[in-house]
Structure 1
Amino acid sequence: MTSIVEGGVEFFVPSTGQLCKTHYWIHGDLKSRQPPLIVAHGGPGATHYYVANLADLWKTHKIPVILYDQIGNGHSTHLPEKKGDNGFWTVELFVRELENLIDKLGIQEEYDLLGHSWGGMLGASFAAKQPQGLRRLVLASTVARMQDWIDSTSRLKLDLPQDVQDALEKHEGAGTTDSEEYKLAVEKFYEKFLCRINPLPEGMIIDNGWMEKDPTVYHTMNGPSEFHITGHLRSFDITSDLHRITVPTLLTNGRYDGAQDDVMLPFFKEISSRVKWIQFAQSSHTPHLEECERYFSVVDCIRANLKPNLLRPA
């Protein structure tokens, strides 16, 4: 039977004038022989719900899993008054929150980290600081240089019906991305390149609900959609720091992913440690949902020694 501990840790952010809270869920036993796996969700502005199935790694592979909602999202402290505040919603804010969570949970001596999408951008930024205790890193469907993602999703949009492309172009040009027509066109992209499961898994539906209720973080840092990047993450580029990642690293992406191979390639080329890269042939941006059983088996390799620079498409 799965053991789940739910709680929150205080996270002091001086510019808010208040103690914030990071809400977390621990699946499994942190005192077991296996180092825990921390899962950093995407967005920015999403929640843990769409990656919650990764907690089953405790049942299938006896890996303790820590899920958490990042500040501004889900069950953690919301700060809608900070909407549009680029100086507040920074990568460094979320790195400090992750450091605080690790310290407060007392796992700083040994742990693994999996970051999906934006969570991988956060995870790579965190790992480049060479934190104590980080043992293995998984960078899932993520971005080293945002311009690569923008270029990739621009190419993928060409596979959509012409009327959908026209609707996207019209509303992005007019600044009417809050219109229903734009939202419906965005959904057509997501059905092909975000998650190809129909109907959507429950976790993604719940996650979408949270983001609709409070889009503060997503709209400030990212923009109105996964491919129309108007927030300050548009200039994100960690390629010059990737050589500072010194722990064995697993890269994953999907065949129909916005994180196409050329988006993932800088991680493979620049990380100075051992790297293994696996592409999931039937998946888009969420292989952990679309090819769940195989994904669990692949992620389990973080417990083993990774062979150097080995590219293995599924």
Structure 2
Amino acid sequence: MSVAADTVEGFADYGPYKTWYRVTGDLDAGPLPLVIAHGGPGCTHDYVDSFKELSAKGRAVIHYDQIGNGRSTHLPDKGGDFWTVDFFLGELDNLLDHLGIRSRYALLGQSWGGMLGSEHAVRRPAGLKALILANSLASMDLWVAGAAQLRAELPAEVQEALDRHEAAGTTQDPEYLTASRVFYDRHVCRVTPWPDEVARTFLAVESDPTVYHTMNGPNEFHVVGTMRNWTVIDRLPNIEAPTLVFRGAYDEATPECVQPFIDRIPSVESEVFPQSSHMPHVEEKDACLARVEAFLRKHDG
């Protein structure tokens, strides 16, 4: 799939900070502009870059790096009282205003981006015409339980290394990182070696892990950050926008993580990509992009 020729990059001022963004395609074209909220918290737009290919259908696609990450303002001295859901919701609203699309847009949130997307949607913004929750979760308790289940299926020596280093607080030890990669190769991205755009995101997190370590923890399955008790389950009936929920069959976002979305959002569709884990947009790119485009096309009017 090709990409629209017109691409614009810029920065949106959010208080004293700057949010980097890129628009691929024409914001004034007919289809709903699609905003992509990346995961983490604390990743970058790179690993979800493939969604820009939807611009080939005439749809503007907006990527941005959330503050603290990528090309946006970095704030390594800020702590848990600063990095909050409300802060990132305000940044998203600010970006919509900056681009002049608050009255009509679609939002795709991947993983943590889906958590942010659900928090955005339960507030019933009038301009949100379609919502996509990709490889996401309705509560951190469900995520942690799912991660424990998947972790218990790892080889015994891998589990032993993880347990030992977590007990000792040595989660940056090379042995621990190697053991963690076994989980990632099964349940985060099953394409090995990782494509360049995926590797770039993980290198970016490694270079400045402030947001990720503060809100999540050292990795995907040892969640000890400020989001540990987060849930949106009881508020999901408030979502008015038609919603597509999807995950991969090998996803760290287990079926239990996404089921509340399916059960409680009034207008919802769901999909499971059979050869994917946490990144169908990489692992089964063509099928994933086609499913997203088909869903959005129904709501472009």
Does the pair score TM above 0.5?
A: yes
Partner of 1:161: 155
1:275 aligned to 2:259? no
- Aligned residue runs from structure 1 range 100-179, under 5 A: 100-179=94-173
Secondary structure, aligned partner of 1:242: helix
Whole-Å Cα distance in 1 between the matches of residues 295 and 227 of structure 2?
28
1:305, distance to aligned residue in structure 2 (A)? 4.0
2:71 to 46, 71, 75: 75
Whole-Å Cα distance in 2 between the matches of residues 195 and 29 of structure 1?
31
- Aligned residue runs from structure 1 range 295-314, under 5 A: 295-305=288-298
Partner of 2:205: 211
Contact 1:137 1:302 in 2 (8 A): no
2:13 to 10, 19, 22: 10
1:292 aligned to 2:289? no
Whole-Å Cα distance in 2 between the matches of residues 62 and 199 of structure 1?
32
Partner of 2:50: 53
Whole-Å Cα distance in 2 between the matches of residues 189 and 25 of structure 1?
32
1:304, distance to aligned residue in structure 2 (A)? 4.0
Root-mean-square deviation (CA, aligned residues, Å) is 1.0
1:173, distance to aligned residue in structure 2 (A)? 1.5
- Aligned residue runs from structure 1 range 258-273, under 5 A: 258-272=252-266
Secondary structure, aligned partner of 1:81: coil
Q: Which deviations, in whole Å up to 9, do the C-alpha atoms of 1:141-169 show, x marking residues without a partner?
A: 10111010111111111221111010011
Unaligned 5+ runs, structure 1: 13-18, 307-314
Task: Give the residue type in structure 1 aligned to 2:36.
Answer: V
1:86 aligned to 2:77? no
1:62, distance to aligned residue in structure 2 (A)? 2.2
Partner of 1:246: 240
Partner of 1:28: 25
89-98 or 153-162: which moved more?
Answer: 153-162
So what's the TM-score if we normalise by structure 2? 0.97
1:95, distance to aligned residue in structure 2 (A)? 0.4
Secondary structure, aligned partner of 2:62: strand
Secondary structure, aligned partner of 1:232: coil
Q: How many residues align?
A: 296
Task: Give the residue type in structure 1 aligned to 2:127.
Answer: G
Contact 1:171 1:177 in 2 (8 A): yes
Q: Which deviations, in whole Å up to 9, do the C-alpha atoms of 1:212-268 show, x marking residues without a partner?
A: 110000000000000000001110111111111111000000000011111100001
Contact 1:22 1:76 in 2 (8 A): yes
Whole-Å Cα distance in 2 between the matches of residues 247 and 276 of structure 1?
12
Partner of 2:216: 222
Task: Give the residue type in structure 2 aligned to 1:276.
Answer: E
Unaligned 5+ runs, structure 2: none
